Amino acid sequence: MNGFPHFDQFLTAVDRDAALAETSSRAEAALSRRGLLGITLGAVGAIVFGKTSVAEAGAGLPASDVDILNYALVLEYLQASFYTEAERSGALSGATAQAVKVVGATERAHVKAFRELLGSRAVARPTFDFQGVTEQQRPFLRTAVAFEDLAVEAYKGQAPKVRSNAVLAAAVGIHSVEARHAAWMRELFGITPAVNAFDRPASRAKINRIVASTHFIVSRPRMKARNKPHFTG
């Protein structure tokens, strides 16, 4: 992993079962038997909030839920940018390339849903520098496993703190999708998709520390509303 200065530190911090150190590509062909046709990515907002418009659902949110949603939004920005960059790099092949199309579209849908829900309170997308890991299949998959396991822990840590039932329903429905992604990326990387009977949560402080250790975020997200110049005309 030479050339990725913070990469090993990141993976060391995230790698729970030491399995990431193993290398096996036995599973990379597992998904190639059938194509990934027929994917439908319903509008997340419509699924979660039903007939209530997303804007209506967002309007009455408690401040603590807005805070949690913005935290989740940063993680989704990170993932969406990561998969999009990997897809565009053209370096991925086979079942991995197919899976990344699906997962990337899903993470972008999560970003869109949170941004719509938060409206002007949404934090802006940070600038990312993935330090080359999106340009090679094995380092990419290794990092994807770490990100997805991290996202599962992050959502799990926040779910009991959510106050609005609409936001909670969204959060748990996304939490299990992130767990599916984690298992999928593990399968593609060639390690056990489900290691333990119980998945642990992680605190925001811990997630923040791990994400910061990667130096993948090169500019801090800011509240959009605060950055808008006042209308002076």
Determine if 47 is a binding residue for another protein (CB under 8 A).
Answer: yes
Residue 27 beta carbon to another protein: minimum distance, rounded to whole angstroms: 7
- Where does residue 3 fall: left (phi above 0), alpha (psi -120 to 50 degrees), or beta otherwise? left
Among 57, 74, 75, 103, binds another protein (CB under 8 A): 103
Among 60, 198, 230, 231, binds another protein (CB under 8 A): 198
Residue 98 beta carbon to another protein: minimum distance, rounded to whole angstroms: 9
Distance CA 52, CA 58 (A): 10
* Residue with smaller CB distance to another protein, 124 or 151: 151
Determine if 221 is a binding residue for another protein (CB under 8 A).
Answer: no
Q: Which sign, positive or negative, has the C-alpha torsion 10, 16, 18, 21?
A: negative
Q: What separation in angstroms does the CA of 35 have from each of 26, 87, 117, 133, 181?
A: 18, 17, 33, 26, 17
Determine if 92 is a binding residue for another protein (CB under 8 A).
Answer: no
Report how many residues bind another protein under the rule CB under 8 A.
70
- Angle ∠(145,149,154) on CA atoms, nearest 5: 145
- Lookup: tokens for 184: 């999928």
- Angle ∠(13,180,106) on CA atoms, nearest 5: 100
Contact track, another protein, 150-189, x by CB under 8 A: --x---x--xxx---x--xxx-xxxxxxxxxxxxx--xx-
Determine if 2 is a binding residue for another protein (CB under 8 A).
Answer: no
Distance CA 73, CA 87 (A): 21
Determine if 192 is a binding residue for another protein (CB under 8 A).
Answer: yes
Stretch that binds another protein, among 33-41, 61-69, 81-89, 121-129 (CB under 8 A): 33-41
- Lookup: tokens for 193: 């998709």
* Residue with smaller CB distance to another protein, 196 or 227: 196
Distance CA 57, CA 31 (A): 38
Distance CA 79, CA 102 (A): 13
Residues forming contacts to another protein in the complex (CB under 8 A) are 11-18, 20-21, 26-27, 30-34, 36, 38-42, 44, 47-48, 99, 102-103, 105-106, 109-110, 113, 152, 156, 159-161, 165, 168-170, 172-184, 187-188, 192-201, 206, 209
